[in-house]
Amino acid sequence: GQNIDQPTEMTATEGAIVQINCTYQTSGFNGLFWYQQHAGEAPTFLSYNVLDGLEEKGRFSSFLSRSKGYSYLLLKELQMKDSASYLCALMDSNYQLIWGAGTKLIIKP
């Protein structure tokens, strides 16, 4: 089966950097996604990794290590609007997304 773990909640300061970790166990793998979800809204796509390494996109970067079953989302120059839940999702061998429970990120001034 599959299993995804990520911290429930994190707090960071405006302007700082935060790293949200995601570990997973799966028998089939077609990539790992990170989504951002503000309260009461649908998730929005942030990043996709299928090969090992770091993908950078503006203030957000995502890293994947398939051998370790590990990914992280790195957010730089935090802004108040970055306060949201960040969902790690694994795409399995059937191309279905398996969702983590999400990490609620709280940004303080």
Partner 1 sequence: GAVVSQHPSWVICKSGTSVKIECRSLDFQATTMFWYRQFPKQSLMLMATSNEGSKATYEQGVEKDKFLINHASLTLSTLTVTSAHPEDSSFYICSASLGRGEEPYNEQFFGPGTRLTVL
CB of 50 to partner 1, least distance (A): 7
Among 11, 101, 106, 108, binds partner 1 (CB under 8 A): 101
**Reduced to 3 states, what is the DSSP secondary structure of residue 82?**
helix
Structural Rg of the chain based on CA atoms: 13
Which of 22, 34, 86, 102 contacts partner 1 by CB under 8 A?
A: 102
89 forms beta bridges with 33, 99
Minimum gap (Å) between residue 96 Cβ and partner 1: 7
The conformation of residue 80, written as its DSSP 8-state character, comes to: G
d(CA 86, CA 105): 7
Q: How far apart are CA 2 and CA 22, in angstroms?
A: 13
Among 43, 61, 73, 82, binds partner 1 (CB under 8 A): 43
Smallest distance, Å, CB 30 to partner 1?
A: 6
Q: Which residues bind partner 1 (CB under 8 A)?
A: 30-31, 33, 40-45, 48, 50, 87, 91, 95-97, 99-102
